[in-house]
Chains A and B, each alone.
Chain A
Amino acid sequence: MSAELISRDPHLNRLQDEGFELEVRELVLLVHSVPYVKRDMSLGRGTLVCTLSLDTEGLTSSPQTDHTMWFTGETPCHRDGTPMTNIINNSKEATVGLDIKVRHYFSSKPEGTGRYANIYNKVVTYESHLGAAARSHDKTANARTGVMLASAEDDSPFAIPDSASARYGIAIANRKLKGRIAIIGLGGTGAYLLDLAAKTRVAEIHIYDDDQLLNHNLFRSPGAPELALAKNFPHKVDYYAALYARMHKGVKPHPVRVTADNIDEFAGYDFVFVCVDKGSSRRVIAEGLVRLSIPFVDTGIGLGLDENALDGCARATFIASGTSWDEVAAHLSFGDDDEEADVYGTEIQIAELNSLNAIMAIMRWKRWLTFYRDERNERNATYMIEGNNITNRGA
């Protein structure tokens, strides 16, 4: 993403063309080798740092919403060695983005509007504050070194720049969501799970379902349908893979049913979400994942209509690796319904219940990964509609 954004963004591109040493790490901009004057009037080089905010097209915002920058070097001074208190807001050590250590925080508001017209103006202005003092001692001191940095390791799985991590300061927590995950069953709950998983930094999201997309599925899936993709009843997984490729580069469709014959390929996943209806499938999957020691969340909703109102529950059961089969079977249903008669009317499904069930599952996963703090460590959580309560049972 780093090199790609610099080449695509006209203002960053111009800075690079002029010779600035740019680097972008998870939407944090680093401008290296900026010359400055130290307290003893010797010259040093340091790095200017700021988080980038992007517009909807994924380009740096113009005008800039933030007029501040951090600096990694020692206290920058005027030509006579007096500190540049005119731009230093504070000198507390801090960490920006994932691991960028900074020592000074600058604030220099442009006159008039108070906002820089674009990122080019902002960088050039800050460089001139520090560099002009340095150039008064050595006129060759310039941040425009012409050095092209090798592109930083680009491991972003996203199809669009990830401006959220840097913006919300959660880059480190986001790094905990990694590896390869799988979602079995792309019904309502599975579709909402994909929607949420596609906004995490996991490398790959494998989706399994052998069903075709039908009209009623679209009433239980996030967002509005993309009719061009839904034409000719594609497999659900192919439709969703195409849709979510716009967000996440690692969505891999598998238009197959998961059975005892292919469950072993799940050995390669770090976590699995199970969103199936059939009890016999649930059994084969649970048995396989327990045997392979792959942690998973099994989801399920149960809605009923009595006295003209809907009630019921949503369940998310977390099976950590090492859980005994008896403990697994205590919570999961493995029977199949009679095909001909749905005596209980258990087929009722509503988007918000699927969505809630997906959220319960993804929250469990993220608490397990300590992305969120977890003080519960529950095995089974059940939301009761008419009571609006969630009941947890410990592991």
Chain B
Amino acid sequence: MPDTSNFTYKLDGRLVATDDAILSGRDIRGNAGLNPMSDYVLIQIVDRASRSIGLDETIDLREVDEPEFLSFKGDRTFSLTVNERGFEWGAATISAADIYRCASIDEDLELILDSAGDAVIPADGEVTLSEKGVERIRGREAKTVIIKVNGRPRTVPKKKHSYREIALLAYPDADFDNFKYTITYLKGVHGAEGDLVEGEKIEVKNGMVFNVRRADKS
């Protein structure tokens, strides 16, 4: 059957269609079959921030571009700031991936937790929100990136790396006088892929993949 609904919104990543322009927090929970409704926290992702939606609060879908909601089982909301914008969250932890996504932070930036003395939050890590005080998080230009060399993750300075620097990551005792190391890479800046030879340097980025082997067997 063709979908004749006029409005859509996203709940927990799934698209929901509705004929109603104006929905209450109760309607959204009801549409998702969340019972009892008061056992669930509903969070709306707004422009690089998030807020909790009470049962009787209303949302006008006509006024929001691509409305998006997340539901959490629980009765508590937690507060944090990301790049100085207020966030409300329905769980005691938030993953770095959710912070990047909800706060629209470029994946090349790294996340910093202010309260922990500027500690870097790993891209696959999370932040605990249940401590006293509001956690303050911000994105900043990364000083290091994680690349993969022969299958192993390596944290390296975010700068141009030379042929020899990359080869030494794979083989710390590399013998440049006697051997050529064939260095190939992919997933570089702007999707670059290719090879690197003596005398050349290359910019690295998070997730870039290198292979270093001696291509001299028959």
Q: Assuming A333-B180, A335-B178, is B195 touching A393 (CB within 8 A)?
A: yes
Residue pair A306, B215 in contact (C-beta under 8 Å): no
Binary contact readout A187-201 vs B (1 if CB under 8 angstroms, 0 otherwise) = 111100000000000
Compute how far the CA of A390 lies from the CA of B96 in the bound complex, rounded to whole angstroms: 35
Residue pair A382, B182 in contact (C-beta under 8 Å): yes
Taking CB atoms, residues of chain A closer than 8 Å to B151 are 306-307, 309, 311, 386
Residue pair A332, B180 in contact (C-beta under 8 Å): yes
Residue pair A303, B217 in contact (C-beta under 8 Å): yes
Binary contact readout A326-344 vs B (1 if CB under 8 angstroms, 0 otherwise) = 0000111111100000011
Compute how far the CA of A290 lies from the CA of B206 in the bound complex, rounded to whole angstroms: 43
B161-185 CB contacts (< 8 Å) to partner A: 171, 173, 175, 177-180, 182, 184-185
Taking CB atoms, residues of chain A closer than 8 Å to B179 are 279, 333, 335
Q: Which of A190, A302, A303, A304 lies at the interface centre, i.e. has the most chain B CB atoms within 10 A of its CB?
A: A302
Question: Pick the contact of B150 from A304, A330, A331, A347 — CB < 8 Å?
Answer: A304
Compute how far the CA of A306 lies from the CA of B150 in the bound complex, rounded to whole angstroms: 6
Question: How many residues does chain B have at the interface if contact means C-beta atoms less than 8 Å apart?
Answer: 27
Residue pair A277, B213 in contact (C-beta under 8 Å): no
Compute how far the CA of A344 lies from the CA of B171 in the bound complex, rounded to whole angstroms: 8
Question: How many residues does chain A have at the interface if contact means C-beta atoms less than 8 Å apart?
Answer: 46
| B32: interface (CB < 8 Å) | no
| B73: interface (CB < 8 Å) | no
Taking CB atoms, residues of chain B closer than 8 Å to A331 are 180, 197
Q: Is the interface of B mostly helix, strand, loop or mixed?
A: loop
| B209: interface (CB < 8 Å) | yes
Compute how far the CA of A189 lies from the CA of B213 in the bound complex, rounded to whole angstroms: 17
| A122: interface (CB < 8 Å) | no
| A300: interface (CB < 8 Å) | yes
Q: Which of B171, B173, B180, B215 lies at the interface centre, i.e. has the most chain A CB atoms within 10 A of its CB?
A: B215
| B211: interface (CB < 8 Å) | yes
Residue pair A315, B182 in contact (C-beta under 8 Å): yes
Taking CB atoms, residues of chain B closer than 8 Å to A330 are 197-198
Question: Pick the contact of B218 from A277, A303, A306 — CB < 8 Å?
Answer: A277
Compute how far the CA of A187 lies from the CA of B217 in the bound complex, rounded to whole angstroms: 9
Minimum distance in angstroms from A85 CB to a CB of chain B:
59
Q: Which of B150, B151, B173, B218 lies at the interface centre, i.e. has the most chain A CB atoms within 10 A of its CB?
A: B218
Residue pair B218, A391 in contact (C-beta under 8 Å): no
| B10: interface (CB < 8 Å) | no
Beta-carbon nearest neighbor of B196 in chain A: A391
Taking CB atoms, residues of chain A closer than 8 Å to B185 are 384, 387
Residue pair B186, A333 in contact (C-beta under 8 Å): no
Residue pair B217, A389 in contact (C-beta under 8 Å): no
Compute how far the CA of A299 lies from the CA of B216 in the bound complex, rounded to whole angstroms: 7
Residue pair A386, B213 in contact (C-beta under 8 Å): no
Taking CB atoms, residues of chain A closer than 8 Å to B195 are 382, 384, 391, 393
Question: Pick the contact of A302 from B186, B197, B198, B217 — CB < 8 Å?
Answer: B217
| B126: interface (CB < 8 Å) | no
Question: Pick the contact of B178 from A334, A357, A385, A387 — CB < 8 Å?
Answer: A334
Residue pair B216, A313 in contact (C-beta under 8 Å): no
Residue pair B198, A384 in contact (C-beta under 8 Å): no
Compute how far the CA of A306 lies from the CA of B175 in the bound complex, rounded to whole angstroms: 20
Taking CB atoms, residues of chain A closer than 8 Å to B182 are 300, 302, 313, 315, 382
Which residue numbers of A lie inside 8 Å of B, CB to CB? 185, 187-190, 275-277, 279, 282, 299-304, 306-307, 309, 311-315, 330-336, 343-344, 346-347, 349, 354, 357, 382, 384-387, 389, 391, 393
User: Given known contacts A277-B217, A311-B151, A389-B193, what 9 new A-B pairs fall within 8 Å (CB)?
Assistant: A185-B218, A187-B217, A276-B218, A279-B178, A300-B182, A300-B218, A346-B217, A386-B209, A391-B194
Which residue numbers of B lie inside 8 Å of A, CB to CB? 150-152, 171, 173, 175, 177-180, 182, 184-186, 193-195, 197-198, 209, 211, 213-218
